[in-house]
Structure 1
Amino acid sequence: MYGWIWRHLPGNVWVKALLSLLLVLVVVYVLFQYVFPWAEPLLPFNDVTVDGQ
């Protein structure tokens, strides 16, 4: 998959590296801004089973 992305990016090695970094940053931004907040209520992290004694 990464090879396919690398081959389809335009430019030389430095341009491809910069575009790859930009793509990674965009994916991380989308995950933190939209995907994780949407999925957080569905995850059982707040279901505590320890009694407060």
Structure 2
Amino acid sequence: MQLTSFKTLEPTVLAAQAAWLQQIDLTPLLVYLLDMTEASSLPWLAGQLALTGING
């Protein structure tokens, strides 16, 4: 196996990874948009933002 064959494979692999990453829905990661956050995540988010306990 020659190193040149690996070098020609690299752009293809990177393109495939980029295409895969672009398909991921990042909406659930936008937790500070409270109106879009799932209700089950709200208690955890309130704790992270110090809105519960002695801070809340």
TM-score range, shorter chain: 0.3 to 0.5
Q: TM-score, normalised by structure 2?
A: 0.45
Greater relative contact order (CA < 8 Å, ≥ 6 in sequence): 1
Higher-Rg member (1/2): 2
Q: Which has the higher helix share?
A: 1
Q: TM-score, normalised by structure 1?
A: 0.47
